[in-house]
Amino acid sequence: MRGRHDAGTIPAVSLSSAPLRVLSVIPPMTQLNTPYPSTAYLTGFLRSRGVAAEQEDLALALILRLLSADGLRQVREIIAAAKERSGRVEMFIEQFDRYLATITPTIAFLQGRDPTLAHRIASRAFLPEGPRFETLDVYVDADDEEGGGDPLAWAFGALGVQDRARHFATLYLNDIADVLRDAVDPRFEFVRYAESLAMSQPTFEPLAEALAAPPNLVDATLRELALQAIEKHQPTLVLISVPFPGAVYAAFRIAQAIKAAHPNIVTALGGGYVNTELRELAEPRVFDYFDYVTLDAGERPLLALLEHLRGERSASRLVRSFVRRDGAVRYINLVEPDVPFEDVGTPTWDGLPLQKYLSLLDMLNPMHRLWSDGRWNKLTVAHGCYWKKCSFCDVGLDYIGRYETASAEVLADRIDAIVAETGQTGFHFVDEAAPPKSLKALAAELQRRGTAISWWGNIRFEKTFTPELCQQLADSGCIAISGGLEVASDRLLALMKKGVSVDQVARVTKGFADAGILVHAYLMYGFPTQTLQDTVDALEYVRQLFAAGCIQSGYFHRFACTVHSPVGKHPEQYGVTLKPLPQGPFAKNDIGFVDPTGVDHAPLGVALNKALYNYMHGLGLEDDVRRWFSGRVPKPRVHPERIARALSG
């Protein structure tokens, strides 16, 4: 049950009087090209408050251990003891000596330590090739349409030896990941490890069963790494931040290992997954692993927890924290103001092995390349979203709804400090929607200081972004932006309260593109009341936007209704009814709904993404959009010159 508790009813935990040492941990899996920023933020904040704080990325450590010569030998032993083998495991064993000989140099290459190996990898005679390499045939087809030649030339350009090699090396690692999945752990994935155990999972049972199972190679390796980190840092408090469901199982495995070996170490769980899915947590077994579970921005709850652990604050005065008392979960929230965004300190990457991250080149979508390729310093321009109206978004939750800015001077100081610490000048601004006013002020400040960085991030396509401002942002180092066009339909954009029109998006994106900035559009399908005609029309708009050079990259997501969004809260206003939510004491986020239009969106999604894939490579831009759909669909109602007119108007 949630609610504020009477002061003094809960006894304080007593810790030794030794100074507190905090270890923040990134659990597997998160991205491998750059550290997930949560621990950098927390560690920077804690150090700014004089707390001894360290950080470890166990996601990277786990992958590097598994993808090593020793790791592969262990996998081979497991395969040797197994009764059955899948086709790809068989292939792996047949080529095992080649995998063993190539794994160490390939990892070094992906870490940027051995760039000359690119020539051998790009030759395709160096790495063993498993089923993942079959995807290259798709590119051959695409290239044939353009008249033959080098199959990957359209994707990488004539001089892209490094890029080709990284793409091949990434396919090679994906083949090994598939072998790990078949032979060791069916839940294994590089970014979404055991996700289904946690995602919108009303009961803790599946996770509890998985955690009670005998450890496999992945579990045992993670346990060893977790205990090594404890040995190294000797923390009194371990913070584990879970950004999404695919990091939850490993977070619990880490906590399990710590609690078994060091029961006196206090463990706390927080992060994006907790903030969205565990807001009504009532499952006592979670507290076999974690002593505290905190909600929303971590700084204030953490300060309160540290005071409590030092004996300076009673447990009944904790902030936004779940605890277990007398076998039941209790939510304690002494309301105190959050730490202002100006005062959260500068993130620090100190202690993380920045030279060991892997620059993977997985998807050929230009914007997704930025996500997985290269090491980007992560920084937030403002906390929350200044718009906070979109009806599919978690606008009521702190990470969107609490909007706070910092001055351009403070942001530029943070940037200078981060460049000085990491030696790297690439920044990913991780805002949900960075405010134009702040970006303009920051650009001016960076230019005034002569700070040379490159940066990219999310924005809203709003008209404040004039061509002049786009140019100024480009001059300050902006290389790419992404924003939501969602369903390209003025009716649906109004219904979802996006606050933009298709014509406006066309003009704003053209301004960015003309300034040399890559534009990626988040696209959506399956929004309430979206008809087949709406979908065809939306694709026609998207086609014209690509053809006019307004956008260069995009991705179609299927609309998902969350319990925190306006659609989830007021479905009647969007013409849908919600399906009953399974009751349970654990996670809650996505909720099913019934749309009376009855459109089957799944096959449409396949068509939309196929079209987009081709548009991103300049293919099929002149064709009727109906060609991408497998069944009969209506003719688009959008005038073929609609975007051109919007741009000239």
Contact residues for ligand SF4, defined by CB under 6 A:
385, 387-390, 393, 395, 400, 432-433, 460, 484
3-class DSSP state of 425: coil
Q: Report the nearest approach of ligand SF4 to the CB of residue 411 (Å).
A: 19
Sign of the C-alpha dihedral computed for residues 275, 276, 278 and 279 taken in this order = positive
Mind spelling out the 3-state secondary structure of 556-600? EEECCCECCCHHHHCHHHHCCEECCCCCCCCCCCECCEECCCCCC
Output the six-digit token pair for 309. 């652990």
Q: Report the nearest approach of ligand SF4 to the CB of residue 40 (Å).
A: 22
Q: Which of 499, 459, 505 is nearest to 478 (CA)?
A: 459
- Whether the CB-CB separation of 458 and 428 falls below 8 Å is answered with no
Over its C-alpha atoms, the chain yields an Rg (Å, rounded) of: 25
Q: Report the nearest approach of ligand SF4 to the CB of residue 535 (Å).
A: 20
Q: Report the nearest approach of ligand SF4 to the CB of residue 215 (Å).
A: 39
Q: Which is nearer to ligand SF4, 388 or 520 (CB)?
A: 388
Q: Report the nearest approach of ligand SF4 to the CB of residue 431 (Å).
A: 8
Q: Which is nearer to ligand SF4, 133 or 399 (CB)?
A: 399
- Whether the CB-CB separation of 260 and 290 falls below 8 Å is answered with no
Q: Report the nearest approach of ligand SF4 to the CB of residue 385 (Å).
A: 3
Q: Which is nearer to ligand SF4, 484 or 620 (CB)?
A: 484
Q: Report the nearest approach of ligand SF4 to the CB of residue 497 (Å).
A: 8
Q: Which is nearer to ligand SF4, 49 or 389 (CB)?
A: 389
How many CB atoms are located within 10 Å of the residue 586 CB? 22
At residue 48's C-alpha, the angle toward residues 53 and 54, to 5°, is: 15
Q: Report the nearest approach of ligand SF4 to the CB of residue 400 (Å).
A: 5
CA 435 to chain centre: 20
Sign of the C-alpha dihedral computed for residues 565, 501, 435 and 273 taken in this order = positive
Q: Which is nearer to ligand SF4, 10 or 395 (CB)?
A: 395
Q: Which is nearer to ligand SF4, 388 or 588 (CB)?
A: 388
Q: Which is nearer to ligand SF4, 60 or 488 (CB)?
A: 488
Q: Which is nearer to ligand SF4, 374 or 528 (CB)?
A: 528
What angle, 0 to 180 degrees and rounded to 10, lies between the N-to-C axes of helices 69-81 and 58-66? 70
Q: How far apart are CA 171 and CA 129, in angstroms?
A: 8
DSSP 180-214: HHHHT-TT--SS-TTGGGTTT-S-SHHHHHHHHSP
CB-based burial of residue 404 (10 Å sphere; 0-12 exposed, 13-18 middle, 19+ buried)?
A: middle
Q: Report the nearest approach of ligand SF4 to the CB of residue 528 (Å).
A: 16
Q: Report the nearest approach of ligand SF4 to the CB of residue 76 (Å).
A: 47
CB-based burial of residue 312 (10 Å sphere; 0-12 exposed, 13-18 middle, 19+ buried)?
A: exposed
Q: Which is nearer to ligand SF4, 315 or 495 (CB)?
A: 495
Q: Which is nearer to ligand SF4, 351 or 436 (CB)?
A: 436
- Whether the CB-CB separation of 276 and 397 falls below 8 Å is answered with yes
Write phi, then psi, for 55 (nearest 5 degrees): -145, 155
Q: Report the nearest approach of ligand SF4 to the CB of residue 391 (Å).
A: 9
Q: Report the nearest approach of ligand SF4 to the CB of residue 498 (Å).
A: 7
Q: How far apart are CA 161 and CA 572, in angstroms?
A: 54
Per DSSP (E only), the strands in 217-327 are 237-241, 266-270, 292-294, 321-325
Q: Which is nearer to ligand SF4, 117 or 433 (CB)?
A: 433
Q: Which is nearer to ligand SF4, 164 or 498 (CB)?
A: 498
- Whether the CB-CB separation of 347 and 44 falls below 8 Å is answered with yes
Q: Which is nearer to ligand SF4, 265 or 395 (CB)?
A: 395
CA–CA distance from 380 to each of 10, 40, 42, 403, 406 (Å)? Answer: 36, 12, 13, 12, 10
- Whether the CB-CB separation of 591 and 585 falls below 8 Å is answered with no
Q: Report the nearest approach of ligand SF4 to the CB of residue 130 (Å).
A: 39
Q: How far apart are CA 224 and CA 69, in angstroms?
A: 17
Q: How far apart are CA 582 and CA 19, in angstroms?
A: 44
